[in-house]
Amino acid sequence: MEKIKIGIIICDRYRSCAGGKCFRSVQNREGAFSIYKNKEVEVAAFTSCGGCPGGNIEYAPEEMKKNGVTHIHFATGFLVGYPPCPYMDYFKRFITEKYGMKVIFGTHPIPQKYYISHMNIGTWETTILKEIIQLSLTDQETRLKYD
């Protein structure tokens, strides 16, 4: 079975997050980690972006790559923060270009409470955000488990 080493980068607003929802969703292959249903996955790195405008994005992927990371996930906090991170698309393009790593938007399923708020205020109505949230969107039952 193919083994994939992943790194998780969280929004600095959540830098004190213990990562519980991310690690649970890796184990259960839920949210954005559903793309690894038939693969062995190891979380090999976990860090924050370093704060706006993402100073750690320039350096953290290099260290991750040296440790075998091939896939970087931007944590769901990037998607559900108020507002969502305005730099996500740029970060993805930068990491892909500079380090040749695959970048995936999202980790754990979007919690229902965030889903409701963002739907009510129309946060994800742009074409790019509609695309970015897809892997973390899941169904209501799953979203409720992550509230």
* Token pair recorded at residue 12: 């600095």
Q: For 37, what's the count of Cα atoms within 13 Å in the CB-facing half-sphere?
A: 4
Q: Is the pLDDT of residue 2 over 80?
A: no
Closest residue by Cα to residue 8 from 38, 35, 33, 40: 33
Decide if 31 contacts 138 (C-beta within 8 A).
yes
What is the predicted pLDDT for the residue at 78? 97
Decide if 99 contacts 62 (C-beta within 8 A).
yes
Sole residue written with tokens 């944590």: 75
Q: What angle do CA 98, 102, 105 make, to 5 degrees?
A: 110
Q: Is the pLDDT of residue 42 over 80?
A: yes
Extents of the domains making up the chain? 3-145
Tell me which fold the domain 3-145 belongs to: Rossmann fold (3.40.50)
Q: Is the pLDDT of residue 1 over 80?
A: no
What is the predicted pLDDT for the residue at 119? 97
List the beta bridge partners of residue 10. 48
Q: What are 29-39's pLDDT values in tens digits? A: 999 999 999 99
Q: What are 44-88's pLDDT values in tens digits? A: 999 999 999 999 999 999 999 999 999 999 999 999 999 999 999
Q: What are 102-130's pLDDT values in tens digits? A: 999 999 999 999 999 999 999 999 999 99
pTM of the model: 0.95
